[in-house]
Structure formats: structure tokens, C-alpha cells
Structure 1
Amino acid sequence: MSDRPVEEMSFEEAIRELETVVGKLERGDVALDDSIALYERGAALKARCEKKLAEAEEKVAKITQGPDGQAQGTAPLDG
């Protein structure tokens, strides 16, 4: 488990660590206090992943076409 603040992690870093946390919790060979700390870290990592995904969704755009069918630009993705 990393000591790096969750708020500074990229999506990829957070998801990798979240997978490690889940694996440790699933094995069940961790002391209760450590399990609680892992669960709390996992919850923070999950929230970070959700936030980064939401940010990525906001950046997704559809390509707009002009009358001749050529790409003209982009427009926000319709929600």
C-alpha cells in the first residue's frame, strides 16, 4: 500500500492500488485494525477513481460535420 495521498493519484495509480487493497481484504489474513485502515483507504481510492472517470466523461466530445460531411469541430457530448 502506498503512502502517497489519494488526491494526487492518477486514475491508473488509484485503480491499481484499489485492486491490491481488495485482494488483501478478500484473503482475510489481515488484522482487524489493518482491515479497517485498508477499507478506509479503499473507499478513498474508489472515490478518486469515480472522480477521475467523471472528469474524463466531461471532456468527451462528439465530432460535428459540416454540410459536405467533413469534420468541422467538436461539440459537448449530449447528456
Structure 2
Amino acid sequence: MAETPVEEMTFEDAIRELEQVVGKLERGDVALDDSIALYERGAALKKRCETKLSEAEEKVAKITVGPDGQAAGTAPLDP
């Protein structure tokens, strides 16, 4: 079965696979060459998750409140 390219994965798919990779590495029953490949895949998955989270944060806006206490619009989320 072919692996899905990391750059095409959703956040949920990437985090799920990353958890599987970490589990395999933690068990320690993987051959050295396979461990290296798993580590590289895990690093790519981690980067994908960070990218998707960053994209989501950029889309989040906070609601601004006017002087009368009513919602007046939105503004970018404070970093």
C-alpha cells in the first residue's frame, strides 16, 4: 500500500499517522533502517501539522466590541 504524500494530508490524517510512527519508534522493535525511515516520515508529518495549525491560526479572528458592548466586527488574532 502506497503512503499518502505528506503535503496532501489533512491535519487529522497527519497527526493520526504521526501518533502511529511515534508508537512504533517507542516500542523499539523496528530495524535500524526502518527506524530511520520512520523518523524521517515523522519529521515530515510534524512539519505538516505545524503548517496546518499555523494556517488555521491565521484564519482565526477575535470579535471586537464597540463602546455600547455590542459586537462591532472582527480583528486579527493577537500573536
Q: Following the alignment from structure 1 to structure 2, what is the Cα–Cα distance between the partners of residues 2 and 70?
A: 53
Q: State the match for 1:62 in structure 2.
A: 62
TM-score by length of 1: 0.91
Q: State the match for 1:44 in structure 2.
A: 44
- Structure 1 residue ranges (4+ consecutive) displaced by more than 4 angstroms after TM superposition: none
- Give the Å deviation of 1:26: 0.6
Aligned counterparts, 1:1-79, within 5 A: 3-79=3-79
TM-score by length of 2: 0.91
User: Root-mean-square deviation (CA), in Å?
Assistant: 1.5
Identity of aligned residues (%): 85
Secondary structure at the residue paired with 2:54?
helix
* Structure 2 segments unaligned to the other structure (5+ residues): none
Aligned residues: 79
